Every structure is written in C-alpha cells, then in structure tokens.
Structure 1
C-alpha cells in the first residue's frame, strides 16, 4: 500500500519551518501532498493561487511532493486524495496541546487516518507565519525566516520593490 501523506496549512507566508517539515516528510512517505488552504477568515496576504505557486517554487526539487490548493473541510480533501497520513508540524507545547485536540476530532471523522506530529528543527521552532506577517506589516527584513522565492514575492507585492 502506498503511503500518501497530507501536510495542510494556510502557508501565508510559507516559512523555513514549513519547508523543514515538508523536506523531512518527503523522505518518510511515498507521496506528500502540501495542501494549501483557502482560509478566507485569516485574510491572507496572498491569494490561494499565489500561495500554491509560491509553495510549488519552494518544493520543485522534491520529486514526490505535490502542491494543491483546497477549500472546505480538510477531511474531505484527505478522503478525495486517498491519503492515509496527516502530517502536523509542532513548534511549541501550545502547538502540541492544540494538535492533540484536533487529533481526537480527526480520529472520529477518519478512523483509518494516521496522524504524525513532527517537531520543527530547534533552530526554526521560533518562526511562525503570524510573526512573519507582523514583520511584514512593519516592512522589516524577513529573509531569515522564509524561502528565497517567498521573500522575493513579498518584496514585490507588499514592499513594492
């Protein structure tokens, strides 16, 4: 049986922490789908299509990684793509507590789904999209926190440089 994993997120913007989880997950599973969520309630900096394209740029060297955008319930996306593993990145104890709550919900909705929680490498654990967005609002340098193509896109779209 092929192990198909899904790593979901808004990825607004994608960070080096996200990319760390993607790289490591790609080595563990036959196929990894990076599922970029629409998430209109979060008022993203980039459109869904822009975030999908940026993530494709980040992952193009990983042959078993596919990037797909989606709207609606994650459980429906997982089922439609015949995935059997859900990847969740963990940065902090607070992340772990939240993910444990979600795990219970996912287990009820999709009993055969395996859930793998991967801790972000320690040197990246402090990076979050929310903090990066705060830096962007103040027009600060985010180059140490995001992949190169994401930094360039932010400089063009947000900073107009």
Structure 2
C-alpha cells in the first residue's frame, strides 16, 4: 500500500521526520510530497527542501521524495496511492485536516486519509515556530535535523 505525506516542509522538522518514520513502518511505500502553499512565501526553494528531506530520511528504504504543485489528490491518483497521511498536533489541526479529508473524499472516494497524532515531544512544533525562534536568535537544534538548523541559521546570518 502506498501513502502520500504531503506538505510544504519549509523547513522539515523533527515532528515531520517522526511522522515519516512511523508511516514507513505502516506502509509499503511512503512518498513525501513537497508542495507549494499559495498563502506562504517559502524560506527554501523546492530543490532545497527536497535535499533537506533526503538528508533527514534517506536511511528509510521505503520512503521516496517528490514534488507537485497541483492537487494532492491528483498526484495520489497518478501514483496509485491509497492513503493520504497527515500528522495531527492539536485540536485545531483536526478541524482543518478533517475539512480537507472530506473535501478530498468528494474528489476521490477511493483514497483514504489517515491521521497520526504526533509524538508528545513534537505536539507544539511547526515550521513557522522554528523560523520565528531562529529569526530572534533562539536555539532550534532540538527542533529540526542539524543540517536543517545550519541552513536556517545561514538565512538569518
């Protein structure tokens, strides 16, 4: 069974890595799908984000990384995926994600959305929070892979 884990991953956090790792234990193949968010200006290019993800989860043999700027559900059909994998941190995530799951179901009723709650230590973590902490000079090494922290610090140097 193939699962798609979509997101902007700008940047990838240890919370994302946790969801990818756990998803890789559940599915034959997990495709981490880097996509654009039209409401956000990215810190890193698509190529940079893909490279960061490769360095973070490259040791997982059943994980692929790709990018797509259309509807995730269209990509899922092209790749014959059966599941969209989503991480949930807090209750407000659930509301937004449930709405998206229902929308996707109207577009492709044969593709399921599976929610995985984040591990406790990452329940507060978001890419936006990481960037805000780094912007004000705070430590982020415990929130993102070390190579990603270096990339972020270089952006604010």
TM-score range, shorter chain: over 0.9
**2:44 alignment partner in structure 1:** 46
Q: What does the per-residue CA deviation read over 1:6-48, in whole Å, with 9 as the maximum and x for residues that have no partner?
A: 0000001111111110000000000000001122531010001
Q: Residue in 1 aligned with 2:144? A: 146
- Equivalents in 2 of 1:146, 1:59: separation in Å? 12
Which of 87, 90, 93 is 2:88 aligned to?
Answer: 90
- Partner SS state of residue 33, structure 2: strand
Task: Give CA deviations for 1:44-90 in whole Å, capped at 9, x if unaligned.
Answer: 10001100111011111100000111112111111111111100100
CA contact (8 A) 2:8 2:34 kept: yes
Q: After TM superposition, where is structure 1 displaced by more than 2 Å over at least 4 residues in a row?
A: 38-41
Cross-structure match for 1:159: 156
List runs of 5+ in structure 2 lacking aligned partners. Answer: none
1:50/1:40 CA distance change after superposition, 3 Å = farther
1:22 is matched with 20
> Matches of 1:52 and 1:155 in 2, distance apart?
18
Does 2:32 match 1:34?
Answer: yes
More displaced, 94-103 or 33-42? Answer: 33-42
Q: Secondary structure at the match of 2:84?
A: strand
**Cα deviations across residues 100-144 of structure 1 (Å, max 9, x unaligned)?**
111110111010001110000011111111111111222322111
Gaps of 5+ in 1: none
In 1: Cα distance, 2:135 partner to 2:152 partner: 11
**2-structure distance, mates of 1:142, 1:105:** 35
1:147 positional shift: 1.1
RMSD of the alignment, in Å?
A: 1.1
Alignment coverage as a number of residue pairs: 157
